[in-house]
C-alpha cells in the first residue's frame, strides 16, 4: 500500500474510497487508538461534523432555528454551539446513547464508503427532514473534507442513499435536541459561568477531600447525620459535592454567580418563578460524598 500523507499538512480530498478513508483515519489516529481493520471500522477522533441550519422565518415555534449559528459535534461526544455573532459559545456533552447513535451513523457511512460523485436523495413529504434547510460539513483535522446539503425536498452528498439519509437524520435530530431555544442568550451565558464556577471546586485526590454541599454552598461536616434538601429552579445548575477547602475561598463567588444567573434568566425568559423546582437530597451519614476520577461527586442523590 502506498504511503498516506501526513494529516497535519493535507486535507482529505474527494473522491476517496472507503478503504483509503479508513487507512487515513487509522494513520491519523492518536497513538493510543488501536488500528482497526475495514471489517472493524475505527471511530477516529480527528473527524468531526458541523451542522448549520437556517435562521427562523417567522416567530412561530415550529420555525425556530435548530442550528442557526452552528453546532460542532465531536465523535467523542462533546459538542459546541456557536460561536454567535457576539462570540458566545455553549458547550454540551452528548448522553451515552446519543454518542453511540452518532458513532454508529458514521461507521455505517465508512462501511459504504464515499462516492466519487454527489448523490441526491428525494425526501418523502412525510419525512422528518422535509422543509429542513441545512449544511453539514464533515471535517478532517478541522478542514472540510465533504459537504451534505439539505434543501427542503432533497439531501445531496458523497454517500450512498441509506448512509447519507441516516447520517443526516442523526445530525439534525441531535441538533434539534441540543440547540437552545434562544441563542445567544444572557441567561445561558450566566448559567454556563455558574457551572464553570462549580467545576472549579471539584478537584480531589481521595474521598476525604470531598463533602456534600447544602443549598447555600456550605460544606456539610463528614458523617453528620442529616438529610439535605436542595431546592432550585431547573434552569440553574446545582452543586451537590465539592472540595471543602476550595469551597471556603470560592463560596462568595458562587453565591454572586447564582444571583447573576437568576436575574439574567428571570429578565430574559421569565422561567425563574421556581414552579418547576425539584427537591433532591442525600443522607450524608449513610452515603458520603466521594472522589471519582479526581472530581467530587454526591454519594447518592435522593428524589
- DSSP state letters, 61-85: GGG--SSTT-EEEETTSEEEE---T
pLDDT at position 48: 94
Greatest pairwise CA separation for the chain in angstroms: 68
- How many whole angstroms separate alpha carbon 130 and alpha carbon 123? 6
Three-class SS of residue 238?
coil
Three-class SS of residue 12?
coil
pTM of the model: 0.71
pLDDT at position 2: 38
Strands of the chain, DSSP E: 47-53, 71-74, 78-81, 90-93, 114-122, 133-140, 143-151, 154-159, 211-212, 227-232, 241-242, 278-283, 290-292, 295-297
C-alpha closest to that of 128 among 70, 79, 62 = 62
Mean pLDDT by 10 residues, the chain (303 residues): 36 41 40 42 71 70 74 94 94 92 94 88 85 91 90 88 92 91 89 92 94 87 68 73 93 92 80 53 80 89 57
C-alpha closest to that of 83 among 74, 75, 91 = 91
pLDDT at position 148: 94
The number of CA neighbours under 13 Å toward the Cβ of 52 is 11
List the grid coordinates of 269.
425568559
pLDDT at position 181: 82
Residue in this structure with the C-alpha cell 442529616, named with its chain if needed? 226
Contact assessment for residue 49 and residue 171, using Cβ atoms and an 8 Å cutoff? yes
pLDDT at position 238: 79
C-alpha closest to that of 168 among 144, 132, 139 = 132
List the grid coordinates of 270.
421569565
pLDDT at position 216: 86
Amino acid at each position: 500500500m502506498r504511503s498516506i500523507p501526513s494529516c497535519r499538512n493535507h486535507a482529505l480530498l474527494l473522491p476517496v474510497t472507503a478503504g483509503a478513508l479508513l487507512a487515513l483515519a487509522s494513520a491519523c489516529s492518536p497513538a493510543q487508538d488501536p488500528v482497526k481493520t475495514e471489517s472493524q471500522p475505527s471511530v477516529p477522533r480527528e473527524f468531526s461534523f458541523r451542522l448549520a441550519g437556517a435562521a427562523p422565518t417567522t416567530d412561530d415555534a415550529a420555525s425556530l432555528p435548530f442550528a442557526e449559528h452552528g453546532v460542532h459535534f465531536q465523535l467523542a461526544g462533546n459538542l459546541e454551539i456557536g460561536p454567535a455573532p457576539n462570540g458566545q459559545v455553549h458547550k454540551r456533552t452528548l448522553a451515552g446513547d446519543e454518542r453511540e447513535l452518532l458513532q454508529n451513523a458514521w461507521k455505517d457511512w465508512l462501511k459504504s464508503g464515499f462516492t466519487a460523485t454527489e448523490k441526491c436523495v428525494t425526501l418523502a413529504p412525510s419525512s422528518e427532514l422535509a422543509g429542513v434547510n441545512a449544511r453539514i460539513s464533515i471535517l478532517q483535522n478541522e478542514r472540510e473534507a465533504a459537504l451534505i446539503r439539505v434543501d427542503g425536498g432533497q439531501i445531496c452528498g458523497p454517500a450512498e442513499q441509506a448512509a447519507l439519509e441516516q447520517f443526516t437524520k442523526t445530525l439534525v435530530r441531535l441538533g434539534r435536541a441540543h440547540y437552545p431555544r434562544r441563542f445567544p442568550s444572557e441567561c445561558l451565558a450566566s448559567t454556563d459561568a455558574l457551572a464553570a464556577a462549580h467545576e472549579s471546586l471539584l478537584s480531589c485526590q481521595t474521598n476525604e477531600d470531598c463533602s456534600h454541599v447544602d443549598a447555600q454552598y456550605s460544606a456539610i461536616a463528614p458523617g453528620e447525620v442529616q438529610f439535605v434538601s436542595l431546592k432550585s429552579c431547573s434552569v440553574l445548575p446545582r452543586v451537590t459535592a465539592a472540595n471543602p477547602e476550595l469551597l471556603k475561598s470560592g463560596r462568595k463567588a458562587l453565591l454572586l454567580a447564582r444571583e447573576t444567573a437568576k436575574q439574567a434568566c428571570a429578565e430574559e425568559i421569565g422561567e425563574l418563578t421556581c414552579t418547576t423546582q425539584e427537591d433532591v437530597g442525600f443522607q450524608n451519614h449513610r452515603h458520603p460524598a466521594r472522589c471519582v476520577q479526581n472530581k467530587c461527586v454526591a454519594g447518592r442523590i435522593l428524589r
